[in-house]
């Protein structure tokens, strides 16, 4: 059975100011997500699942899903703030859903095979999907065996300003031991630094693995997520802005020795539109990949 690609797109409406403005960055108006789907299919994924909000379902189906339905099986699931376990209360003033791991939980009814999780608006690169498929195929019919594609931090920086990244620590066998979110990572004078919680600059090697929210899971992860989410809501359910992130759950499972998470190295260079000023550079990078023949001039036939 081929693995499934699960694309987190529920935040798309708010981030882009409406799906009509979903940015066409490729030579024929392709979006970053188009390149992810293209890379996933040629790497060996067999199904695409999108998690979105009900508020933009119609636009999303017309402008996004319609491109893929003739090519690959597609499912849509929904993330809403009220999708919480029965009997657990939360702050009624809260408007947005609960973050990336909450979004992931919405796929339980339609995903029964090893699956990958990515953001809709990050460019991950073909090699990353290749190493991800290889791992997911190796854990079919297994449990508690997860992975994360660890990007080399030097391949994830923005030329327009500092970024935040989840810096990963691994053991001698390449398994994840922790992910720590670090803010204000940038290159200064040829050296990559981040600011710690005290505002002090710390140097990190350019090949340090960081998380770009590209994960691989076996389906048992859904049960762990439900258990962890109930605990999260009891502690943070009254917070208006608290978020239930994937690294939070993965860190818990690793600490409790209930699962392992292999960090997969990739030579791919991540890019995305972190700042408005990033857009021209992203367009140039995509056009250069097309020029080199890594992608066809037109991904999908009109």
| pLDDT reported for residue 16 | 59
189 or 85, greater pLDDT: 189
Mean pLDDT of 84-113: 87
115 or 15, greater pLDDT: 115
Residue 226, both tokens: 């439900």
**In whole angstroms, how far apart are CA 101 and each of 54, 55, 97, 144, 161?**
18, 20, 10, 16, 27
For residues 50 and 12, is the Cβ–Cβ distance under 8 A?
A: no
- Which residues are CB-neighbours of 188 under 8 A, at least 6 positions away? 201
Instruction: Kindly report the backbone phi and psi dihedral angles of residue 123, in degrees, each rounded to the nearest multiple of 5, phi listed first.
Output: -95, 115
Mean residue pLDDT across the chain: 90
Nearest to 78 by CA among 107, 111, 100, 99: 107
Mean pLDDT of 263-279: 87
Report the C-alpha gap between 279 and 284 in whole angstroms: 9
Percent of the chain with pLDDT over 70: 96
Q: Is the pLDDT of residue 81 over 90?
A: no
pLDDT tens digits, 125-137:
999 999 999 999 9
Q: Is the pLDDT of residue 145 over 80?
A: yes
Instruction: Print burial letters for 233-252: b (CB count within 10 Å at least 16), e (below 16).
Output: beeebeeeebebbbbbbbbe
| pLDDT reported for residue 18 | 61
What domains are there in the chain, each with its CATH number? 4-150+211-255+263-291 (3.90.550.10)
Instruction: Kindly report the backbone phi and psi dihedral angles of residue 286, in degrees, each rounded to the nearest multiple of 5, phi listed first.
Output: -65, -45
| pLDDT reported for residue 172 | 95
Residue 89: CB atoms within 10 Å: 10
| pLDDT reported for residue 17 | 59
pLDDT tens digits, 197-225:
888 999 999 999 999 999 999 999 999 99
Mean pLDDT of 55-82: 90
- 126-138 and 32-43 helices, crossing angle to 10°: 40
Q: Is the pLDDT of residue 12 over 80?
A: no
Place of tokens 């350019």: 206
Alpha helices in the chain (DSSP H): 12-16, 32-43, 57-60, 66-68, 100-105, 126-138, 221-236, 246-255, 279-291
Which of the four pLDDT bands, split at 50, 70 and 90, describes residue 8?
A: very high
245 or 136, greater pLDDT: 136
Ramachandran class of 272: left when φ > 0, alpha when ψ lies in -120 to 50, beta otherwise: beta
- Which residues are CB-neighbours of 295 under 8 A, at least 6 positions away? 26, 35, 38, 286, 289
pLDDT tens digits, 148-167:
999 999 999 988 888 889 89
Which of the four pLDDT bands, split at 50, 70 and 90, describes residue 14?
A: low
Beta strands (DSSP E) in 54-140 are: 74-78, 115-119, 122-123
Strands 115-119, 122-123: parallel, antiparallel or unpaired by DSSP? Answer: unpaired
Report the C-alpha gap between 151 and 156 in whole angstroms: 7
Q: Is the pLDDT of residue 21 over 70?
A: no
Mean pLDDT of 86-108: 86
Q: Is the pLDDT of residue 259 over 90?
A: yes
Q: Is the pLDDT of residue 22 over 80?
A: no
121 or 146, greater pLDDT: 146
Q: Is the pLDDT of residue 234 over 70?
A: yes
Q: Is the pLDDT of residue 13 over 70?
A: no
203's enclosing H/E stretch is strand 201-204
Percent of the chain with pLDDT over 90: 62
Q: Is the pLDDT of residue 87 over 80?
A: no
Report the C-alpha gap between 2 and 123 in whole angstroms: 22
- C-alpha 277: how far from its chain's center? 22
Which of the four pLDDT bands, split at 50, 70 and 90, describes residue 92?
A: confident
């Amino acid at each position: 059975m081929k693995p499934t690609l699960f694309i987190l797109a529920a935040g798309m409406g708010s981030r882009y100011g409406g799906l009509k403005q979903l940015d066409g960055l490729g030579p024929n108006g392709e979006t970053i997500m188009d390149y992810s789907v293209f890379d996933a299919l040629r790497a060996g994924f067999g199904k695409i699942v999108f998690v979105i909000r009900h508020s933009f379902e119609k636009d999303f189906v017309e402008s996004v899903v319609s491109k893929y339905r003739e090519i690959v099986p597609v499912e849509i699931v929904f993330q809403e703030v009220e999708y919480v376990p029965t009997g657990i209360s939360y702050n009624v003033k809260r408007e947005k859903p609960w973050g990336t791991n909450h979004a992931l939980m919405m796929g339980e009814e339609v995903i029964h095979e090893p699956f990958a999780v990515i953001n809709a608006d990050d460019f991950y690169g073909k090699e990353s999907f290749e190493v991800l498929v290889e791992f997911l195929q190796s854990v079919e019919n297994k449990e508690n065996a997860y992975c994360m594609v660890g990007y080399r931090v030097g391949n994830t920086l923005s030329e327009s300003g500092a970024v935040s990244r989840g810096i990963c620590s691994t053991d001698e066998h390449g398994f994840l031991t922790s992910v720590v979110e670090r803010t204000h990572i940038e290159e200064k004078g040829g050296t990559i630094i981040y600011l710690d919680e005290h505002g002090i600059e710390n140097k990190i090697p350019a090949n340090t693995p960081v998380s770009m929210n590209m994960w691989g899971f076996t389906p048992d992860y859904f049960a762990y997520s439900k258990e962890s989410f109930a605990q999260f809501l009891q502690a943070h359910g009254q917070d208006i802005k608290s978020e239930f992130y994937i690294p939070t759950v993965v860190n818990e499972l690793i600490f409790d020795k209930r699962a392992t998470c292999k960090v997969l190295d990739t030579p791919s260079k991540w890019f995305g539109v972190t700042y408005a000023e990033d857009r021209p550079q992203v367009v140039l990078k995509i056009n250069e990949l097309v020029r080199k023949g890594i992608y066809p001039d037109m991904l999908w036939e009109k």
